[in-house]
């Protein structure tokens, strides 16, 4: 059996991309389809920039902002600095 050539890979790439687009646009995409589409974008090194008013910007605004220091203080309480110091000593 002969290996696939570049034209065949391009066709498969186009078909997979078109299928994902069709499912998402129709509103019939399942969570699994959306996850697969995200993985497909990541695999193909596709990224987006959240420009003002874009769909990605709107999605980003839905995600709550997290304060890392607040999370650490809630995890470690008053022992936050000691816990960080201890971890550094163990690794070092």
What's residue 92's pLDDT?
47
Write out the residue range of the structural domain in which residue 78 sits. Answer: 63-92
Do 33 and 4 lie in a common domain?
A: yes
The structural domain count of the chain equals 2
Assess whether 67 and 32 both reside in one domain.
no
Q: What is the pLDDT of the chain when averaged over all its residues?
A: 85
Same domain, 36 and 75: no
Q: How confident is the model at residue 16 (pLDDT cuts 50, 70, 90)?
A: very high
Query: Does a structural domain hold residue 53?
Result: no
With 90 as the cut, is the pLDDT of residue 38 above it?
Answer: yes
Average pLDDT over residues 72-82: 74
Residue of 35, 18, 14, 38 lying closest to 26 (CA atoms): 18
> Could you tell me where the DSSP H helices lie in the chain?
6-26, 31-43, 55-62, 68-76, 80-91
Residue 54 domain-assigned (yes or no) = no
Q: Is the pTM of this model over 0.85?
A: no
End-to-end CA distance of the chain: 54
22-37, pLDDT tens digit by residue?
999 999 999 999 999 9
- Per the domain annotation, does 19 fall within a domain? yes
The DSSP letter of residue 77 is: G
- Same domain membership, residue 76 and residue 35: no
The residue ranking higher by pLDDT, 58 or 90, is 58
């Amino acid at each position: 059996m002969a290996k696939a050539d570049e034209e065949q890979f391009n066709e498969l790439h186009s078909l997979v991309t078109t299928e994902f687009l069709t499912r998402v646009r129709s509103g019939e995409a399942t969570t699994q389809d959306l996850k697969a589409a995200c993985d497909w974008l990541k695999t193909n090194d596709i990224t987006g920039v959240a420009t003002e008013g874009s769909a990605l910007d709107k999605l980003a605004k839905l995600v709550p902002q997290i304060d890392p220091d607040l999370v650490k203080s809630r995890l470690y309480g008053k022992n936050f600095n000691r816990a960080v110091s201890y971890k550094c000593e163990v690794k070092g």
